A and B are shown apart, each in its own frame.
Chain A
Amino acid sequence: MTIIDTRTPHRKSFIAGATGDWEIIIGMEVHAQVTSESKLFSGSSTEFGRPANSNVSFVDAAMPGMLPVINEECVRQAVRTGLGLKAQINKRSIFDRKNYFYPDLPQGYQISQYLDPIVGEGRVLLDMGEETIEIGIERLHLEQDAGKSIHDQHPNMSFVDLNRSGVALMEIVSKPDLRSADEAKAYLSKLRTILRYLGTCDGNMEQGSMRADVNVSVRRPGGAFGTRCEIKNVNSVRFAGQAIEYEARRQIDILEDGGTIDQETRLFDPKLGETRSMRSKEEAHDYRYFPDPDLLPLEFDDAFIAKLAEGLPELPDEKKARFIAEYGVTAYDAMVLTLDRAGADFYEAMAKGRDGKLAANWFINEFSARLNKEGMDVTQSPVSAEQLGGIVDLIGKGDISGKIGKDLFEIVWAEGGDPAEIVEARGMKQVTDLGAIETVVDEIIAANPDQVAKVKDKPSMIGWFVGQVMKASGGKANPQAVNEILKSKLGI
């Protein structure tokens, strides 16, 4: 494959070495487990965490004479994902056998797609601060997952569970367009967001539903591509970043000492924060692909694609653009609001017909922060979109201050109820009655002649008076009004 460099070398992503700057080149292969009830070529369940070998049919165990029959929903999911990646959908694709021996692969080959994948070139957009960068997708293909080996149950035997064997995976291959660990992390996160919006993969990296193989090489900025190493099975966004930074540094050190990089497969050890060579994988690289004689080419027509396109949800990039246009939020806030679909729906329900910016502030700074603290997601929130919207309404109208709003939020979170009624019943309404505020101000001034004398020389002391008035009013006085009245009464 001829690699085309689509990016302009950028100083901020360079790594300094002893002999000058280096640039990291990263490409990723992400294995995403297709969300489906049953496996890619058999009728056994894909449910996670079942007892050993209970989600296994004779097809998955590769018993003689068993034949694969493709799961139509897995095909749909792959096409949906392709559409979400703005990619070319191939109406004819071919399943091949990728041959290798391993105890968790009973067939002795993995059914995969080689030269004719179901999805071709596409793209993913990443928000990197002010800049939006485009990362090319090379292809997406369908393949079978392998089983799972457990090594810690016995001193000299491994245990094999085939529950995962035959579960459908989408391998999503990026072009080598990523130039830093941060971009690689952003890519993984964005890809996960897109898959979750589409509902084609749950994106759960801890359970292994999404894993990344990361290809890393280094070069002089803008120079010829270097030799790459592949870091296998990275199972978190954070680890991907650590693995890339370690691996780039390792390669730079070797090159600067006059050495050369061996193209090899490496493993990231999260405990040590290092990558190390996986020698045993070396000779396995001769996969001898050939078309699987058990399966005809996978073919569908434009109507099949069009029907799936019709059912596609609004995707994060489109939603983000719409939020900016409709609710007047900043690009950054829009990105945060659209990180997951449930959150975006919640925001939209609370922001509709209200001040979108104020709603966004509340959603991001109070509500999301509180959810994070409790380890909850938006669907588990005790506060509904209507309730949060109600709080925003009260602040927007000037009935309560932002500070009282936070107290109100705590009450609604803990006790529930209608925000407007709570404010009324508990006398939390902001005092905007100027007469009432004036009375309090007068009392404070009369009671503190020393401070009044001082504030004439030192106007910043007004803050002390504001504090006293707020305290006396139980935090309910309108701070702006308090400031103005104080200034005129104190003559500053």
Chain B
Amino acid sequence: MSVDAATVKKIARLARIRITDDEVAGYESELNAMLGFVEQLNEVDVDGVEPMTSVTPMVLRRREDVVTDGGYPEKIVANAPLSEDNFFMVPKVVE
């Protein structure tokens, strides 16, 4: 598996990372080097082996259904560049 210049641009766009055309070739070779390294893992036969989700035998922690948090809208919007009445304000997003 390898990526081409168009794929690099698409991935960058999906991740909202701006890259210039000059940078594309560099990322392309870096990504392909990483993919090549990971590719080696494909040589291992993992038929019938469950994907490992944790290195220690743990179970998913669960919470009771009670309200224990929230109620501090000022803190939530404290770092917002713009806010009004505890709403976040963002450039208009509507069709």
Question: Do A71 and B63 form a contact, CB below 8 Å, given A53-B73, A286-B14?
Answer: yes
Partner of B68, one of A38, A267, A278, A297: A38
Question: Do A158 and B60 form a contact, CB below 8 Å, given A43-B69, A296-B53?
Answer: no
Contact with B along A269-312 (1 / 0, CB 8 A): 00000000011100100101001000111110000000000000
Task: Judge whether A397 is part of the interface by a CB distance below 8 angstroms.
Answer: no
Task: Give the distance to chain A from B86, nearest Cβ to Cβ, in Å.
Answer: 5
Contacts across chains A and B counted by CB atoms under 8 Å: 137
Contact with B along A29-44 (1 / 0, CB 8 A): 0000000111000111
Contact in complex: B59, A157 (CB < 8 Å): no
Task: Give the distance to chain A from B94, nearest Cβ to Cβ, in Å.
Answer: 4
Stretch at the interface among A98-106, A212-220, A325-333, A477-485: A98-106
Contact in complex: A38, B82 (CB < 8 Å): no
Partner of A157, one of B58, B77, B86, B89: B89
Give the CA-CA distance A279 to B87 in the complex, in Å: 27
Contact with A along B23-58 (1 / 0, CB 8 A): 000000000000000000000000000000110001
Contact in complex: A158, B92 (CB < 8 Å): yes
Give the CA-CA distance A99 to B76 in the complex, in Å: 22
| Main SS class of interface, A | loop
Contact in complex: A51, B73 (CB < 8 Å): yes
Contacts of B14 in A (CB 8 A): 99, 283, 286, 288
Contact with A along B59-85 (1 / 0, CB 8 A): 111111111111111011100001011
Contact with B along A156-179 (1 / 0, CB 8 A): 111111100000000000000000
Instruction: Count chain B residues whose beta carbon lies closer than 8 angstroms to a beta carbon of A.
Output: 38
Contact in complex: B89, A154 (CB < 8 Å): yes
Task: Give the distance to chain A from B58, nearest Cβ to Cβ, in Å.
Answer: 6
Partner of A52, one of B13, B68, B86: B86
Give the CA-CA distance A72 to B73 in the complex, in Å: 26
Contact in complex: B64, A72 (CB < 8 Å): yes
Contact in complex: A296, B68 (CB < 8 Å): no
Contact in complex: A296, B67 (CB < 8 Å): no
Contact in complex: B93, A149 (CB < 8 Å): yes
Task: Judge whether A453 is part of the interface by a CB distance below 8 angstroms.
Answer: no
Contacts of B21 in A (CB 8 A): none
Task: Judge whether A471 is part of the interface by a CB distance below 8 angstroms.
Answer: no
Task: Judge whether A151 is part of the interface by a CB distance below 8 angstroms.
Answer: yes
Contact in complex: B76, A69 (CB < 8 Å): no
Task: Judge whether B95 is part of the interface by a CB distance below 8 angstroms.
Answer: yes
Contact in complex: B53, A43 (CB < 8 Å): no
Task: Judge whether A73 is part of the interface by a CB distance below 8 angstroms.
Answer: yes
Contact in complex: B87, A53 (CB < 8 Å): yes
Contacts of B10 in A (CB 8 A): 286
Contacts of A55 in B (CB 8 A): 70-71
Question: Do A44 and B69 form a contact, CB below 8 Å, given A53-B77, A70-B62, A149-B93?
Answer: yes
Contact in complex: B60, A157 (CB < 8 Å): no
Give the CA-CA distance A45 to B92 in the complex, in Å: 28
Contacts of A101 in B (CB 8 A): 16
Contact in complex: A54, B84 (CB < 8 Å): no
Question: Do A53 and B76 form a contact, CB below 8 Å, given A71-B62, A71-B65, A74-B65?
Answer: yes
CB-contacts of A73-130 with B (<8 A): 73-75, 99, 101-103
Q: Which residue of A lies closest to B94 (CB)?
A: A151
Task: Give the distance to chain A from B52, nearest Cβ to Cβ, in Å.
Answer: 11
Contact in complex: A73, B65 (CB < 8 Å): yes
Task: Give the distance to chain B from A97, nearest Cβ to Cβ, in Å.
Answer: 13
Partner of B61, one of A52, A69, A158: A69
Give the CA-CA distance A102 to B14 in the complex, in Å: 12
Question: Do A102 and B60 form a contact, CB below 8 Å, given A43-B66, A54-B71, A159-B88?
Answer: no
Question: Do A52 and B87 form a contact, CB below 8 Å, given A44-B69, A157-B92, A296-B59?
Answer: yes
Task: Give the distance to chain A from B42, nearest Cβ to Cβ, in Å.
Answer: 17
Contact with B along A49-72 (1 / 0, CB 8 A): 001111111111100000001111
The 5 listed contacts between A and B (C-beta, < 8 Å) are A54-B72, A60-B70, A101-B16, A159-B84, A160-B89
Q: Please name the 4 residue pairs, one residue from A and one from B, whose CB atoms are nearest each other, closest first.
A: A44-B70, A43-B68, A73-B65, A43-B69
